[in-house]
Amino acid sequence: MKQIKTEKDIAHMFDSIAGRYDLLNNVLSAKQDIRWRKHLVSCLPSGSDVRFLDTATGTGEVIKTALDQGKQFAQVIGTDISDGMLDLAKQKITAPNVSFRNEQATDIKEEDNSIDGLSISFGLRNVVEPLKAVNEFHRVMAVGGKLLILEFFKPKSSLMNSLYTFYFRYVLPLVGGFMSNKSAYQYLPESVQDFMTLDELCAYLIERGFVIESTKNFLFGNCGFVCASKVSQKS
Ligand SMILES: C[S@@+](CC[C@H](N)C(=O)[O-])C[C@H]1O[C@@H](n2cnc3c(N)ncnc32)[C@H](O)[C@@H]1O
């Protein structure tokens, strides 16, 4: 399998699976991904003055879920590095206060302290420099703003880790390969194994000037969620 190392490789991989991405997500998670995103959205601020940015937005599922749940925003921005994913997001969501653009999570074209809600769902693990992205989130977020991260993590229990490894290593590439691009679905388990744990992510958020408001485990800890608030201006 070709090693996926650069943002260009990642964007190319997501371009190649964009058309089947939503369907495969639903199939491979037995539609649990919908429930997990709804939980994320329930923690988003809402109001006519709220600016919301969803980075690694993919096909725009988080933004769609937020609008479907009746959340109000002054402005919504979806960013991603895959034009294939962004094209689908633009087709899916045409509300006048929503815009999409090709942009790195590590280099957000927004002013300091200007975003009230920032989410990244199943994206941080794909970012080549995830801690740099967290620093950038801190820069653009307003004090009191909410950072919402949903991600796959290595489970803590060894039994669950074995089951998870089996599912991700064998079942997922098989189904993903049959319905889409096999190497992309081989990449998923590797990216999870290489990624930090939820506890390590929370520790880094605290170090950067966030306070942890809540965390939640789904799927026996295979999927984790954290809601954090920015409490300080420190950079
Ligand atoms: C697994 S998809 C998640 C999409 C969506 N957030 C969801 O919940 O379904 C990961 C997305 O992260 C994007 N991505 C990867 N690296 C990125 C980066 N450095 N900056 C912005 N987006 C990135 C990919 O292009 C892809 O669309």
- 8 A C-beta contact, residue 150 and residue 223: yes
Beta bridge partners of 2: none
Residue 1 has pLDDT above 50, yes or no: no
- 8 A C-beta contact, residue 201 and residue 149: yes
Residue 4 has pLDDT above 60, yes or no: no
Give 133 or 221, the one with higher predicted confidence.
Answer: 133
Residues 11-46: pLDDT tens digits?
999 999 999 889 888 877 788 999 999 999 999 999
Residues 58-94: pLDDT tens digits?
999 999 999 999 999 999 999 999 999 999 999 999 9
d(C-alpha 130, C-alpha 137), whole Å: 11
CA of 80 to the centre of ligand 1 (A): 6
pLDDT for position 161: 72
Q: At 137, list the tokens.
A: 């989130």
d(C-alpha 78, C-alpha 100), whole Å: 5
For the chain, domains (ranges, CATH) are: 7-230 (3.40.50.150)
d(C-alpha 54, C-alpha 153), whole Å: 20
CA of 170 to the centre of ligand 1 (A): 23
The closest residue, in CA terms, to atom 17 on ligand 1 is 127
CA of 58 to the centre of ligand 1 (A): 5
Helices (H) and strands (E) in the chain, counts: 9, 7
The closest residue, in CA terms, to atom 1 on ligand 1 is 122
Determine which helix (DSSP H) or strand (DSSP E) holds 19, and give its type and residue range.
helix 7-28
CA of 126 to the centre of ligand 1 (A): 7
The torsion region of residue 157 among left (phi > 0), alpha (psi -120 to 50) and beta comes to beta
pLDDT above 70 coverage of the chain, percent = 94
Q: Which of 112, 120, 31, 25 is nearest to 80 (CA)?
A: 120
The closest residue, in CA terms, to atom 4 on ligand 1 is 58
Beta bridge partners of 216: 225
d(C-alpha 224, C-alpha 215), whole Å: 7
Residues near ligand 1 (Cβ within 6 A):
7, 10-11, 14, 55-58, 61-62, 79-82, 85, 104-106, 121-123, 126-127
d(C-alpha 82, C-alpha 9), whole Å: 10
- 8 A C-beta contact, residue 186 and residue 173: yes
